[in-house]
Structure 1
């Protein structure tokens, strides 16, 4: 009752999962990942344990196919599961059980897989696979493009409700929670993929210091800050100071702005507060 994509960026080694479904908060149970180790989806009749147990096996050096076959062999409900595992080296293992609701299936290649169940048609999987192969975008954007292609081809037979995007780093690190580069969810919406696209655009704007974009995308309460930073970027320091004037009358906002300037979080901010 879900469609998803796993992928590895051949340049950075980043690993990611994108999921969309007509269930509430699909991101709470389906996608799993650990930097440099692998990513997993467990869907159809999801069993959350597949995520952490598969990642533990990969981290211990067990081949991806053995990891998945071992977990399936221990599971009396395996016929109703749909599980995909992508290891850090790009190897893939996928299982679509015989009891998964039709239309169900998967497609995969080196460094990627797409899978779904209760789909409108097999063309959903074909469109997703084609979108992955054709795209050369960074992995988060590429995963989202694949989900959008699946939705355009019919998506989940029941409709749409939620979506999730998870990307982790390509190298193993001592504290893997610090190497989660994208973790975005839309838990309930009429068009969750459109909202997920907007969230990813907002994250990129924060990462790039794109004050012009943030003046449009950021919450209302902080748009004045980003508008001021954008004016300063364009050389309009008087306009930038005017944009901040109302906020600076509140001592707490003044303190927040100065702490941001001292931490170097916002370009041009220090000169606006002098």
Structure 2
């Protein structure tokens, strides 16, 4: 009923999972992750509390292969599927003998792809090949694998939700929760495509890509980003027009005044001065 990929980036130590399914809000059900500890996928009819238990086992130093064997031995329901990845890149997976056909998993160096109730046996090999061939950061490579899984057929029942979760290889601290990406599409006719759009939007925020945000940010904030983009281009007229549009909205003038110390807005003010 679900297909997913878990992986670790050997260069950054980041760990993550991308998953899609024809169920509502798969991001609530399948992925679990803990910075500095590992990532878990709990699929098919595996008990939903398994993710917490498996992460606790990783935190105690138990190897993924041992945790997977224990879970498989203790399972009463044969329609189960799990994958476990630790902060060192060790990975293990199990697909119960009664899991919905087509089902299975494939393991590689620091990654695993798994799925059940798939349209064909070609889905998982295609995902594996796509992950290994992909470039970019871990989130992008996970999405590349998920996209190919969907394009190859994905879930036999159709499409509904998808999620992308990436965490740091280092434990969370008070200053940094260790979550690098946490995006979910809970109900959509094309959730993987929607997830890619969200990833692109997140990248625009992270990289301060004001030109993109002026087009795709929430409508109320687009004029602000248009002003910032024009300021960066040195376009005084466009910056003034966009900023005046922001000020015209009820309450925004007070907000702009409160943000006077923000370096981004001060750049706009200098341009208009």
The TM-score, its normalising length taken from structure 2, stands at: 0.94
CA separation of 1:258/1:12 partners in 2, compared to 1, >3 Å: closer, same or farther? farther
Query: What is the RMSD computed on CA atoms of the aligned residues?
Result: 1.8
Report the Cα distance in structure 2 between the residues aligned to 1:266 and 1:148, rounded to whole angstroms. Answer: 38
1:69-126 Cα deviation digits (max 9, x unpaired): 223333322x211000011100011000011100000111111000000001110001
Write the distance in 2 (CA, Å) between the matches of 1:70 and 1:121.
29
What does 1:1-274 align with in structure 2 at a 5 Å threshold?
Answer: 1-77=1-77, 79-174=78-173, 178-250=177-249, 252-264=251-263, 268-271=267-270
> 2: distance between equivalents of 1:99 and 1:229?
56
Distance change (3 Å), C-alpha of 1:81 and 1:177: farther
Q: Return the alpha-carbon distance in structure 1 between the equivalents of residues 266 and 139 of structure 2.
A: 26
Q: Distance in 1 between matches of 2:205 and 2:242?
A: 19
- Which whole-Å CA distance do the structure 1 matches of 2:170 and 2:265 have between them? 29
In structure 2, distance between residues paired with 1:206 and 1:259: 21
Whether contact under 8 Å (1:29, 1:46) holds in the other structure is no
Shift of 1:58: 0.7
